[in-house]
Amino acid sequence: MRFLIVSQYFWPETFCINELAASLVERGHSVEVLTGIPNYPRGRFFDGYGWFKRRKHVYLGVKIHRVPLIPRGRGGAFRLILNYLSFVLFSCLLGPFVCRGRYDVIFVYEPSPITVGLPALLLKKMRKTPVIFWVQDLWPESISATKAVSSPFILRWVEKLVRYIYNGCDHLLVQSKAFCEPIMRMGIDGKKIGYFPNCAGASFKPVDVEVDAEERGLLPKGFCVMFAGNIGVAQDFPTILAAAERLKAYSDIHIVVLGEGRMSGWVENEIERRGLGRTVHLLGKYPSETMPRFFSLADAMLVTLRKDPIFAMTVPAKVQSYLACGRPIIAALDGEGARILRESGAGVVCEAEQPEQLAEAVLGMYHKTDEERRCMGMRARSYCEANYDGGKLLGILEDIMMKLGIVNRLCLVGGSNK
């Protein structure tokens, strides 16, 4: 079958949609992607890309069509709005010309912004093709929770836009079961909603790292608690740093951060201001394929989210990656993410935005034996295999897409025979 994926982000940006698209090609499908010029998370175009450079190319059999957009810059509100709207504008203007094929299904990947659904709905109308929308981030709740938008007037208009997009799609998939209720409160039929969680990529698995591996030299000596991913508002670094202050007396406990984001500068300044340079380490961003090697060298992995109803519904994608790599986990979050980690028996969970509890959780993990932590890691891997196996999930998605595509074909044939 022929699938078109609409996503503002795609390879070489690191998102799970990359592997999903390539896996569909491996299963014999034709896959094209309508996306923007890669600029996430650094806010500038990746080397070799530009408004007029590398607009079409192929990645692991996936045909990529890129439209211009304004890079996100340092992630300020104004630049983000320009970034989001420019992708919508150019996708709507150029998408119908660069994506000329007849597609069986249009699949939308939405980790934010919600506006990525608009060019998909335009193409649906022009190509008479059904749309599946994979909800990774709830709007307007998420932009309200991160303080990106506080105006009630704007939030009401965003909610109207969300209703329009959801109603225009033929099927909605949600990465968290907790997303179903707020979507249904918008008047969306529950039969139209399906649960489809994120899965860890195939490269995320337990690995043995060589004694002389480069990664070993990048990590401090001692007990290593590792955070990997975006350094943003939602990830609640104030709580991480406040917990690190409470752990200063334990000079061999280190918090290592792999990643970058709009809060990177603030975190770096706070580390210096609080005198945490010896125990909190910002290593920057590394390729996704190297993450399992770093994870294997950590004593425990760290996941945090701010305290807010929307974040309590969200399952951070890093949770699946940590579980897949068989690592013990320290978590400071609420709701669905906390439930999953408690159910898995993979680590220690405390409330969001509670630095004292987080410090105690780190100490609790620190005082466990190597064997206790190894058993946690084994439970993590087993839980991942049972609930987030990439092959099983891809098969479920493939069935949904193929059934929707076949029904649409029959409807088109039936309509043409009238």
Condensed to tens digits (0 to 9), the pLDDT of residues 31-87 reads: 999 999 999 988 899 999 999 888 999 999 999 999 999 999 877 788 989 999 999
Percentage of the chain lying above the pLDDT 70 cut: 98
Q: How far is CA 219 from the centre of its chain?
A: 25
For residue 413, what pLDDT is reported? 56
Q: What is the DSSP string of 247-299?
A: TTT-TTEEEEEE---TTHHHHHHHHHHTT-TTTEEEEE---GGGHHHHHHT-S
What's the fold here for domain 214-387?
Rossmann fold (3.40.50)
Taking the domains of the chain in order of start, what are their residue ranges? Answer: 2-199+389-416, 214-387
Instruction: State phi, psi for 269 to the nearest 5 degrees.
Output: -65, -40
Amino acid symbol at 302: L
Pick the CATH number of 2-199+389-416 from 3.40.50.970, 3.40.50.2000, 3.20.20.120, 1.20.1250.20: 3.40.50.2000
pLDDT at 416: 53
In angstroms, the CA 234 to CA 142 distance is: 9
pLDDT at 318: 93
Domains 2-199+389-416 and 214-387 share a fold: yes
Q: For the segment 334-379, what is each residue's pLDDT rounded down to a tens digit?
A: 999 999 999 999 999 999 999 999 999 999 999 999 999 999 999 9
Helices 17-26 and 390-416 pack at an angle, to 10 degrees, of: 70
pLDDT score of 242: 98
| Range in 141-150, 268-277, 320-329 with the lowest mean pLDDT | 141-150
Is the Cβ–Cβ distance between 188 and 166 less than 8 Å? Answer: yes
String of b and e for 317-340 (b: at least 16 CB within 10 Å)?
bbbbbbbbbbbbbbbbbbbbbbbb
Q: Alpha carbon of 119 to those of 58, 66, 114, 115, 164: distances in Å?
A: 21, 13, 11, 8, 13
CA-wise closest residue to 124 among 6, 210, 214, 43: 6
- What pTM did the predictor assign? 0.86
